[in-house]
Amino acid sequence: MINCHKAMNLKGKTTDCAYRAPAAAASAEAAIYFVEGQYLFHERGDRGETIKYLSPSLVRQAFAMEPIDSGWLSPETLRWGTCNKGDYVISFHRPARRRLLIQNDDGRTTSAITIPLPGLVFAGLDQSWYVWAARARRFAPDLELFHAPLPNVGGTGLICFGENRHPEVGKHGAPAAWELFISSPFNSHHADGKSREYPENVISQLSFLHRRKAARYPVRDLVSLRCILNETVRRLINR
């Protein structure tokens, strides 16, 4: 038979809850039940029974037996957390002139160029890394996202590292992943659809900016993804 009890929900209100305690738990001092997608804590003691709902973070901390601490984060890191897919991190790199390596047509040699890049949102989820561009010079959660004007980045912003072994997110993977991404040679893969002026190959735009010794990336050249950062992050961690 299903037992009915009064339990305190996460908003501090007493509600009715119903669950069937398994026979194996009859002699247990305490147990956690999954009830309608929530965590229900049931404890038996000398003063009676205690039944209450627990937040996911409390349950995670109890099982990990250690405090949740991000440690010291890099100045660019804005958000770090965990979800059912693993750890995730969001960072923002402000507009700056950067030195890139471009693989030549022979596939064996590279050429160095120094170009301005727009603000870049760099995000990681478990073992996957994403990069998007922004027209704004400063970060805001409601930034409109654009294709990063760089090759080797898929249509969703997913970075292709090729044969380079890249780090997982963890608590400190973002700086290493960013350095690997920005310092590794770029080739012509996924080079289309990133520039209004050069829709076939964004490397042509980068080469032009290098020759002109441009100080800023022409943000009007960016191709919109038609989405907002907040929405994109929410879909990423809740999918």
Query: Is 143 part of a structural domain of the chain?
Result: yes
pLDDT over 50 at 168, yes or no = yes
Instruction: Tell me: do 58 and 149 sit in the same domain.
Output: no
Instruction: Tell me: do 9 and 49 sit in the same domain.
Output: yes
> Are the C-beta atoms of 30 and 42 separated by less than 8 Å?
yes
Mean pLDDT of 191-212: 97
Stronger pLDDT, 78 or 12, i.e. the higher one = 78
Taking the model in full, what pTM does it have? Answer: 0.72
Instruction: Tell me: do 102 and 33 sit in the same domain.
Output: no
> Are the C-beta atoms of 88 and 236 separated by less than 8 Å?
yes
pLDDT over 90 at 228, yes or no = yes
Tell me if residue 77 falls in helix, strand or coil. strand
What's the total number of domains in the chain? 2
Query: Is 84 part of a structural domain of the chain?
Result: yes
Range of the domain at 14: 3-64
Domain end marker among 38, 64, 90: 64
For the residues of 201-232, what is the DSSP string, one character each? -HHHHHHHHHHHT-SS--GGGPPEEEEEHHHH
> Are the C-beta atoms of 80 and 173 separated by less than 8 Å?
no
Instruction: Tell me: do 60 and 126 sit in the same domain.
Output: no
Instruction: Tell me: do 102 and 25 sit in the same domain.
Output: no
Query: Is 69 part of a structural domain of the chain?
Result: no
Mean pLDDT of 58-67: 63
Other Cβ atoms closer than 10 A to 104 = 11
pLDDT over 50 at 14, yes or no = no
pLDDT of residue 8: 44
Query: Is 71 part of a structural domain of the chain?
Result: no
Mean pLDDT of 28-38: 73
Mean pLDDT of 190-210: 97
Query: Is 59 part of a structural domain of the chain?
Result: yes
Query: Is 20 part of a structural domain of the chain?
Result: yes
pLDDT of residue 5: 44
